[in-house]
Every structure is written in C-alpha cells, then in structure tokens.
C-alpha cells in the first residue's frame, strides 16, 4: 500500500494506492468525513461490480446510502446529466453534511465532482477512480466539469476531493482499449516532469500491457506524486505551472470536440496530441526530431494511436480557440524543450499550427 499526500493546506488530502481494498474501505471515508449520508455516483458499467459492493459496505458501517448511475461514455459529461443528478440529490434528501462518492472513470469523476461542487454551493466528495486514466490523473487535483458541445471541459470548477481511494485490482476488468488509453497520460508525466520515469516506462512495456500489479503500483503512485507536486504549487492554474499537465491537450481537446465526443477516447487523443505538440516544437526549432521519435516509439509500443486522419484542419484550429489557455484571443501551447521538461509558449502563429494539422 502507498499513501500519497496532496499538501493543499486546509484542502489537503490523501490518495491511498492498494489492491483489493475497495469493499473494506468504509473506514477511509469515516476517518475523513463525519457525515452519515453518502451518495455514490457511478456509470452503468461500474454500478454492479464496484458501486453496489461499496454501497453495501458503507451501509453496513452505518451510512444511509444512495447509488445513482449515469450512462457510460464521454457524452455523459453534459448539462443534462448534471441537471439530472442535481434533481436526484434533492430527491435523496441530500444536505450539506452529505458526501458524494464518485465511483468510476474520469467521466464520472469530472461530472460527479462538478455536481458536488455546485449542489448546495458545495458538498464534500471522494474520488474512487476505476480506470487507469482516472487513477493516474483525473481523480487528483480537483479539476471537475462538463463539456459544452463545442468546447471540452468548458464549464466547471476547481473542487478538491476529501480523499482518493485507488484499488488497482479493479483495473483487471477494464476493456483493453480503455486501459491502454490511460497509458497515454502516464507517458505524459515522463515527458513533462520526469525523464527517469520515462526511461523506466520504456523498460516495462510488456509488464504495463500485462497489467502487472507490482509495476502498476509504482507507476500509479509516481503519477499521483508528480501531479500532487504540480497542483500543490499552482492549484488553480494561475502561475502557468499547472499548465504543464496540459501537454498535448490543445490538440487533444480539438480532436475530441471536432470528431464528436466519444469517437476518440481521451487518452487516445492525448497520445496524438502529444506527438502533434512535439512536431510543433520541432517546426519551431525548439527540439530535435529524436525527441518526437522517442515519444512516438513508446506510445506505439503501448498500442496507442499517434496520428489522426479525416478531420478538417481548419475546424481543428477553430476549436483550439476554446482552449482554456487562450489569452487575449491568442493560443498558447505547452511544448517540450527536452525529455522531462516542457514550457508554456505564447506567440505561436496559426500558420505553423496549421502546418502540423495538415501534415
Ligand atoms: N479532471 C481531470 O484532471 C482530468 C484528467 C484527465 C482526464 N479527464 C477526463 O476524464 C475523462 C476520461 O476518463 P476515462 O478514460 O476514465 O473514461 P470513462 O470514464 O469514460 O471510462 C471508460 C470506460 O470504462 C468503463 N469502466 C470504468 N471502470 C471500469 C472497470 N474497472 N472495469 C470495467 N469497465 C470500467 C466505463 O464505464 C467507461 O465505459 C475525459 O472526459 C477527460 O476529459 C479529466
Ligand atoms: O489536471 C490538469 O490540470 C490537467 O490538465 C490534466 C489533464 O490531463 C486533463 O485532461 C484536464 O481535464 C484538462 O483540463 P482543461 O483545463 O484543459 O480542460
Ligand atoms: Zn488529460
């Protein structure tokens, strides 16, 4: 078992990384939140295997529990589902001492976290991430929100969880495509913050693909540590430091939006987006081609897509204008300088971006 602390003063919290502990985790919640009413929010796939057992364990430990399920998939991160959940919380007699527990992937975590942040002007919430992507990224750091049809994650908040319970055993039931998608955000951490970690990932590709739990414990805990270090220094993405976590995401979000939410999984679009951002850095003479090749090789070894065809470059460029890093109408990109280091760069001309999108 590994414990990662996110040191955020009054909003500090623990991330527990272990295996098989989920059904016995009532004490984790009890120790951190005094309430006796829990609303568990999951999606239709996660409900029976993980939502119901956790609700049963909490009920046994004296909680009044409600279990709400939303449809699975990216399209669920929308205003209609948020409204449905607000109304359901009302029906469940949720008050300010109740706690929301998000059980599922990043879609459930972002949506349930947003609903928790807004209902009654803010309820405590826990994250119980059940996808690799959610375990290494979305459950940590407090970005919660929903999509608008033309802009990914455009409505949301910074709302930190009260704690995060990561059970690695649940990853065994994840469909292969969803599992592999999470590996893209893992590779991202190496690229942006930790060259040694990137090298380690290159050395454990077969173990990663085989979901080896010893390797996974190390990898998931390291990603959480790295994210915690960034979030501790720039919780609300004000200084620019937190933007490093957005490497590849200007391209990624444009791809997800223009192709229609759900056609590409988030991690797949992150993989393509990182390669495109790296190509952009190359075209601006900021890096050597070998750095792009190294990312490409690892992403491909991990069975991730690295190119996209059939999307209109002009439409992608237009979608990028909704990126939250845009300042005074101008795009800013997170670009690599060397392995383990990226920078937020302003003043990139749309023509150079188009070149990458057309190549
Ligand atoms: N808030 C953040 O900081 C942050 C970071 C990264 C990504 N995100 C967001 O996360 C979302 C993507 O999350 P995701 O990749 O987890 O996708 P997801 O939530 O859609 O889950 C993927 C699929 O796996 C199923 N599933 C989940 N756990 C399972 C399990 N253990 N066994 C079997 N099936 C399981 C789900 O039902 C779903 O069909 C995107 O919306 C992205 O924008 C947010
Ligand atoms: O936590 C962050 O900060 C990130 O940027 C992590 C990203 O992986 C994640 O996809 C995030 O939701 C993107 O945020 P956005 O502000 O660009 O919508
Ligand atoms: Zn992401």
Percent of the chain with pLDDT over 90: 98
Give pLDDT, residue 45: 98
Give pLDDT, residue 35: 86
Does 142 carry a binding-site annotation?
no
- State whether 217 and 151 are in the same domain: no
Give pLDDT, residue 157: 98
Domain boundary among 152, 173, 194: 173
Domain boundary among 131, 152, 173: 173
3-state secondary structure 4-45: EEECCHHHCEEEEEECCCHHHCHHHHHHHCCCCEEEEEEEHH
- State whether 8 and 79 are in the same domain: yes
Which strands form 99-104's sheet, in the order they lie side by side? 2-6, 13-18, 163-167, 124-129, 99-104, 37-43, 64-70
Check which CATH number belongs to the domain holding 75 and give it: 3.40.50.1970
Instruction: Check residue 193 and report its DSSP letter.
Output: H
106 CA distance to ligand 3 middle (Å) = 9
Domain boundary among 141, 173, 205: 173
Range of the domain at 51: 2-173
- State whether 209 and 161 are in the same domain: no
pLDDT in tens, 10-49: 999 999 999 999 999 999 999 999 889 999 999 999 999 9
Strand (E) or helix (H) holding 328: none
Mutate to test the pocket of ligand 1, among 75, 78, 107, 146 (most ligand atoms within 8 A of CB): 107
Ligand 2 in reach of 332 Cβ (< 6 A): no
- State whether 6 and 107 are in the same domain: yes
- State whether 116 and 181 are in the same domain: no
Q: How many domains does the chain have?
A: 2
- State whether 163 and 191 are in the same domain: no
Q: Whose CA is nearest to atom 6 of ligand 2?
A: 245
Quick check: is 60 catalytic? no
Angle, helices 313-320 vs 249-258, to 10°: value is 120
290 CA distance to ligand 1 middle (Å) = 32
Q: How far is residue 82's CA from residue 119's CA, in Å, rounded to a whole number?
A: 10
Check which CATH number belongs to the domain holding 268 and give it: 1.20.1090.10
Give pLDDT, residue 315: 97
What average pLDDT does the structure give for the chain? 97
Strand (E) or helix (H) holding 168: none
- State whether 269 and 333 are in the same domain: yes
* Ligand 2 atom closest to residue 266's alpha carbon, by position in its atom list: 10
- State whether 208 and 321 are in the same domain: yes
What pTM does this model have? 0.98
Ligand 2 in reach of 106 Cβ (< 6 A): no
Q: Whose CA is nearest to atom 13 of ligand 2?
A: 246
- State whether 84 and 196 are in the same domain: no
Tell whether ipTM is more than 0.95: yes
- Matching residue, tokens 């075209």: 283
- What residues of the chain score a pLDDT lower than 70? none
- State whether 81 and 49 are in the same domain: yes
Ligand 2 in reach of 245 Cβ (< 6 A): yes
227 CA distance to ligand 2 middle (Å) = 11
Ligand 2 in reach of 246 Cβ (< 6 A): yes
Is residue 114 a contact partner of residue 160, using CB atoms and an 8 Å limit?
Answer: no
- State whether 25 and 106 are in the same domain: yes
- State whether 195 and 337 are in the same domain: yes
Q: Whose CA is nearest to atom 34 of ligand 1?
A: 174
């Amino acid at each position: 078992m590994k414990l990662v602390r996110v040191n955020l003063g009054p909003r500090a919290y623990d991330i527990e990384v272990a295996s098989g502990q989920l059904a016995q985790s009532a004490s984790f919640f009890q120790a951190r939140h005094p309430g006796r009413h829990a609303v568990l929010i999951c999606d239709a796939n996660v409900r029976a295997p993980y939502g119901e057992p956790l609700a049963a364990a909490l009920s046994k430990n004296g909680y009044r529990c409600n279990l709400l399920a939303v449809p699975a998939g990216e399209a669920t991160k929308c205003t209609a589902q948020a409204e449905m959940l607000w109304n359901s919380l009302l029906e469940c007699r949720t008050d300010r001492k109740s706690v929301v527990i998000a059980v599922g992937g990043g879609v459930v975590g972002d949506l349930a976290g947003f609903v928790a942040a807004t209902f009654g002007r803010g309820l405590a919430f826990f994250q119980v991430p059940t996808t690799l992507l959610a375990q290494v990224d979305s459950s940590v750091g407090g970005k919660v929100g929903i999509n608008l049809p033309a802009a990914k994650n455009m409505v949301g908040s910074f709302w930190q969880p009260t704690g995060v319970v990561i059970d690695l055993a649940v990853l065994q039931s994840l469909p292969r495509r969803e599992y592999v998608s999470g590996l893209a955000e893992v590779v991202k951490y190496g690229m942006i913050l930790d060259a040694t970690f990137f090298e380690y990932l290159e050395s454990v590709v077969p173990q990663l693909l085989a979901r080896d739990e010893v390797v996974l414990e190390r990898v998931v805990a390291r990603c959480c540590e790295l994210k915690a270090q960034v979030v501790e220094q720039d919780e609300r993405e004000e200084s620019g430091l937190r933007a490093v976590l957005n490497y590849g995401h200007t391209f990624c979000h444009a791809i997800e939006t223009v192709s229609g939410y759900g056609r590409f999984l988030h991690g797949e679009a992150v993989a393509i987006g990182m390669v495109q951002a790296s190509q952009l850095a190359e075209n601006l003479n900021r890096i050597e081609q070998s750095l792009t090749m190294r990312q490409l090789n690892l992403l491909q070894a991990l069975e991730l897509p690295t190119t996209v065809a059939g999307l209109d470059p002009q439409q992608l460029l237009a979608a990028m204008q909704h990126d939250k890093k845009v300042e005074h109408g101008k795009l800013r990109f997170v670009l690599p300088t060397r392995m383990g280091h990226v920078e937020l760069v302003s003043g990139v001309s749309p023509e150079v971006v188009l070149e990458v999108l057309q190549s």
